[in-house]
Amino acid sequence: MHTPSSLHERRPPKFRALWLAACALTLMTACTDRMATSDDRFGRSGEVIAMSGGEGGARYACATCHGVRGEGNGFDAPRLAGLPAGYLQKQMQDYATGLRPHEVMRDVARFLDSHERVRVANHYAALPPQALPGATQETVAPSTAALYAAKCQQCHGAEGAGTELGPPLNAQPAFYLAQQMQDWQVAKRRNDGNHEMLKVAQALNPGEVRQLSLYLARIPSRPPRPDR
């Protein structure tokens, strides 16, 4: 009786070379399939990614922190619904590269490729802004509106509704807004053009940061204007 090894040894050299090449190709294909991105990945739509976390899994689902309808959590996770798609896409890119430091968001953004970031951004941009949960009842100084108009309105628009230069700030959590301004003050966040936010934030004292945050958090979110 011939053993498999003895049969292999008796095969012609040409056949043996072809057989070894076929085995190598099979092994390479098996490894490649295991490491390659699946055609059935969770990147089919922005909504699916937002709800499932894509290939990062449920732990990295956007809805976990930002709410099912992108309304935010009223504390440290901002609303995403109704924000400009280009702005959202840029923030994900900046998180992924570390230009906007945030450990969790860095991992979330790195699980998504550029096409998936576009889909997620478009998904949230198309959602109607939701009511902010748990808005603070803390008193806002009457002078805060004038402070906002002088320091912020040129880029962020009347009542914080946003412009081409800056995103909407209205109806965002007061804690989140204050945290961002504090990060700008110490250059922890540095992902704007010409460092304008660094200059503006460093000119504010802690009381002004708090008042601006409360003022903006109380302005209701509004749906985007319909195209005409």
Mean pLDDT for the chain? Answer: 81
The larger pLDDT score, comparing residue 195 to residue 136, is at 195
30 within domain boundaries: no
The three-point CA angle 27-33-18 to 5° equals 30
Q: Is the confidence at residue 81, as pLDDT, over 50?
A: yes
Q: Is the confidence at residue 34, as pLDDT, over 80?
A: no
Amino acid at 82: G
pLDDT value for 150: 97
Nearest to 120 by CA among 39, 192, 63: 63
Q: In this structure, are 44 and 128 located in the same domain?
A: yes
In terms of Cβ atoms closer than 10 Å to its own Cβ (0-12, 13-18, 19+), residue 3 is: exposed
Q: In this structure, are 130 and 44 located in the same domain?
A: yes
pLDDT band at 49 (very low <50, low <70, confident <90, very high): confident
Q: Is the confidence at residue 76, as pLDDT, over 50?
A: yes
Q: In this structure, are 45 and 127 located in the same domain?
A: yes
Domain span at 118:
40-134
Residue that is last in its domain, among 134, 162, 185: 134
CATH number at residue 172: 1.10.760.10
Please count the structural domains in the chain.
2
Q: Is the confidence at residue 27, as pLDDT, over 70?
A: no
Q: Is the confidence at residue 6, as pLDDT, over 80?
A: no
20 within domain boundaries: no
8 within domain boundaries: no
10 within domain boundaries: no
pLDDT value for 194: 83
Q: In this structure, are 83 and 119 located in the same domain?
A: yes
Q: What is the pLDDT of residues 107-136, one digit of tens each?
A: 999 999 999 999 999 999 999 987 665 556
The larger pLDDT score, comparing residue 97 to residue 35, is at 97
Q: In this structure, are 129 and 180 located in the same domain?
A: no
Q: In this structure, are 146 and 100 located in the same domain?
A: no
* pTM of the entire predicted model: 0.76
Q: For the residues 185-209, what does the mean pLDDT come to?
A: 93
> Are residues 63 and 54 in contact, defined by beta-carbon separation less than 8 angstroms?
no
Q: For the residues 29-57, what does the mean pLDDT come to?
A: 56
pLDDT value for 12: 52
Q: What is the pLDDT of residues 163-175, one digit of tens each?
A: 999 999 999 999 9
Residue 123 φ/ψ, nearest 5 degrees: -60, -50
pLDDT value for 20: 42
Q: What are the tokens at 17?
A: 């070379």
Q: What are the tokens at 60?
A: 């990295």
Q: In this structure, are 151 and 183 located in the same domain?
A: yes
68 within domain boundaries: yes
Please identify which residue in the block is written with the tokens 């309105």: 153
205 within domain boundaries: yes
Residue that is last in its domain, among 73, 101, 134: 134
Residue that is last in its domain, among 108, 134, 160: 134
pLDDT value for 2: 46
pLDDT band at 60 (very low <50, low <70, confident <90, very high): confident
